[in-house]
Structure 1
């Protein structure tokens, strides 16, 4: 399943980040259990959340590095890649909500009401996977539709079919970068709590989750399947 594949790729990025944050699963469980026995679990959780937040504070650097990847593609062949850069930029702005990170794809949960805001389903790598799935499915539809065109048709459809993979990749990269940027803003400047987490966490934990998802989505910009996109 396409959605499962693109989600799994992001999940591996997220898992690597969590692995760097944690001292080790057994150690974390032991420390948490000991803290619970001594009645200091809340302080322990808060300290670990602080550590996680510090560990993922490099998400901004990751986002910048991913943006540089797109820039380098443009410089390698400006004539061919300039249109793709336009697509990436537009996708970034739509997905992020703009330079203030307000709106965009993650904030679509507001359609369900203010109480639904900061959902883990929209403010995470899940939204990035959903957007990429939609884009790849659209590319497949273009190929199918093009194959059924009559022999005499507008040449623009041939051009769209020929370059669709390049533009889907550009849109996917821009959207991922936009979502990562939005989540980074949510984890640093526009701090808020997720409303639908299965466990209660201090606000630092919510910041850490948003930051880790931002970093994982930004990393995915460089990990997208180049062969499939063209």
Structure 2
């Protein structure tokens, strides 16, 4: 799980840690975040704040899980690649994570709005029935409370391929660009990575904190925020639907 730095480095070069079983760990983190999100939503239902059905909640959460799984894989890959230059993959993963969460959260809301408005204009011109699910993101049938698998499948494609993947590709590219454009002392990603790498913590402790504890909390918070950005908003479509939600 770890290896000594080569003799080309300084005498104080820290032990290099690796992302052990990183992809599998990331999926477990996402599932933990989903469970925390569902617990939060259950509390909101008990308080009378949340009106969605359990089926809708599970469908919404599964779309987010699909989005985040891809982002985790990309961060792992970038961390491994950057580790060939300096620090280690675990430090880079921890450095990327907070910036990736912030950027993708913002872009998810933007891409959701852009894709939905684009499909709405297309649907209004063509009236093709297969386009309708894409115009009501978060609604899984023609009427609130109705669930159709073809609507869910269409929105899963929209969520992952048209929203989640583009948002995460842009965020990873922005992180990579910042590392190439900004001097090391001005790059927030580099500074965070350096702080983790030279923290003096053991590999086990760094793995626990940067790969499990912080991402579970961060992903859970992101789930709540993105859920609000992606849930169906009747007021944006037909205000009369507000009475049925």
Instruction: Please indicate the TM-score interval, normalised by the length of the shorter structure.
Output: 0.3 to 0.5
User: Which TM-score applies when normalising by structure 1?
Assistant: 0.43
TM (norm. structure 2) is 0.41
